[in-house]
Structure 1
Amino acid sequence: MRITSIREREIPMAAEIRNAYVDFSTMTASIVAVESDVIRNGKPVTGYGFSSPGRYAQGEIIRNRAIPRVMKAEPDALLDPSTGDLDPFRVNAVMFKGEKPGGHGDRSVAIGAVDAAMWDLAAKLAGQPLAKLVADRFGNGEIADSVWVYAAGGYYQPGGGPQSLVTELTGYIEQGFEHVKMKIGGAPLAEDAERVAAVVDAIGDGSRLAVDANGRFDLDTALAYGEMLAPFGLLWYEEAGDPLDYALNAELARNYAGSLATGENLFSVQDSRNLLRYGGMRPDRDWLQMDPALSYGPTEFIRMVLDAEQFGWTRERFVPHGGHQLNLALAAGLGLGGTECYPGVFQPIGGFLDSTPVTGGRVQMLDLPGIGVEEKSNLWAHFADL
Structure 2
Amino acid sequence: MKITGWRSLKTLHYWHRPIGDVNGTVTSGITEVPLLVLETDEGVSGIAPGGHADMARIFPALEGQDPRAVTALYDRMQDWVFKSGHAGSVFGAIGVADMALWDLKAKLADQPLWRLLGARDRFVPGYASGLDYPLELDELLALHTRYAECGFTAFKLKGGLDVEQDLERLLAVREVYCRNTAEPAVMIDVNESMSAKQAVRYVHRLESALDLSWIEEPVRRWDATGHALIRQQTRCAVATGENLTGIEQYAPLLREQAVDILQSGMCWGITHFLRVANLAHAFSLSVSPVGYNTNPVAHAAAAIPNHLSCEVQDLTFPVGLRVDQRIEDGGIILGDAPGLGISIDEAAISQLKNEGSWTQPQGPHVRPRDAGQRLSLRNLAYEKPFRNR
Residue in 1 that maps onto 2:168:
194
One-letter code of the match for 1:333? A
Aligned 8 A contact 2:124 2:301 in 1: yes
TM-superposition CA deviations, 1:229-263 (whole Å, max 9, x none): 21311232211111111111100001111222111
SS at match of 1:357: strand
CA apart distance, 1:36: 1.8
SS at match of 2:280: helix
Distance 1:3 1:378 in 2: 22
1:37 counterpart = 2:41: yes
Residue in 2 that maps onto 1:225:
202
1:308 counterpart = 2:255: no
Please list every run of 5 or more consecutive structure 1 residues that lacks an aligned counterpart in the other structure. 39-43, 52-56, 80-84, 136-141
CA apart distance, 1:352: 9.1
Distance 1:353 1:234 in 2: 33
Aligned 8 A contact 1:288 1:319 in 2: yes
TM-superposition CA deviations, 1:97-116 (whole Å, max 9, x none): 13336562211111111111
Residue in 1 that maps onto 2:147:
172
Residue in 2 that maps onto 1:357:
327
1:115 counterpart = 2:98: yes
SS at match of 2:202: helix
Distance 1:209 1:130 in 2: 30
1:87 counterpart = 2:69: yes
User: Once structures 1 and 2 are overlaid, which stretch shifts more, 223-232 or 192-201?
Assistant: 192-201
One-letter code of the match for 1:28? E
SS at match of 1:222: helix
SS at match of 1:210: strand
One-letter code of the match for 1:194? E
Aligned 8 A contact 1:215 1:239 in 2: yes
Distance 1:322 1:5 in 2: 28
Distance 2:219 2:225 in 1: 10
Aligned 8 A contact 1:247 1:279 in 2: no
Distance 1:310 1:379 in 2: 43
1:6 counterpart = 2:6: yes
SS at match of 1:367: coil
1:319 counterpart = 2:285: no
CA apart distance, 1:354: 5.9
CA apart distance, 1:366: 2.2
Residue in 2 that maps onto 1:19:
21
Residue in 2 that maps onto 1:82:
none
Query: Which residues of 2 match residues 78-157 of structure 1 at below 5 A?
Result: 78-79=65-66, 86-96=68-78, 97-100=80-83, 102=85, 104-135=87-118, 142-153=119-130, 155-157=132-134
Distance 2:167 2:138 in 1: 14
Residue in 2 that maps onto 1:70:
62
Inter-CA distance 382–33: structure 2 relative to 1 (3 Å threshold): farther
One-letter code of the match for 1:302? L
1:338 counterpart = 2:309: yes
Inter-CA distance 176–354: structure 2 relative to 1 (3 Å threshold): farther
Aligned 8 A contact 1:123 1:370 in 2: yes
Distance 1:380 1:340 in 2: 30
Q: Structure 1 length normalisation: TM-score?
A: 0.79
1:256 counterpart = 2:254: no
Aligned 8 A contact 2:33 2:318 in 1: no
Inter-CA distance 306–146: structure 2 relative to 1 (3 Å threshold): same
Q: Which has the higher contact order (CA 8 A, sep 6+)?
A: 2
Aligned 8 A contact 2:36 2:52 in 1: no
Inter-CA distance 171–19: structure 2 relative to 1 (3 Å threshold): same
One-letter code of the match for 1:327? V
More helix by share: 1
SS at match of 2:289: coil
1:28 counterpart = 2:20: no
Aligned 8 A contact 1:153 1:344 in 2: no
TM-superposition CA deviations, 1:253-307 (whole Å, max 9, x none): 01111222111111211012222222522xxxx322112422xx22222222222
Q: Structure 2 length normalisation: TM-score?
A: 0.78
One-letter code of the match for 2:35? I
More strand by share: 2
Residue in 2 that maps onto 1:138:
none
Distance 2:49 2:290 in 1: 14
Inter-CA distance 325–199: structure 2 relative to 1 (3 Å threshold): closer
One-letter code of the match for 2:314? P
TM-superposition CA deviations, 1:313-344 (whole Å, max 9, x none): 3xxx1110024331211111224233111225
One-letter code of the match for 1:217? M
One-letter code of the match for 1:244? W
Seq. identity, %: 27
SS at match of 2:48: strand
User: Once structures 1 and 2 are overlaid, which stretch shifts more, 146-155 or 204-213?
Assistant: 204-213
Matched pairs, number: 339
Distance 2:75 2:146 in 1: 43
Distance 1:168 1:240 in 2: 24
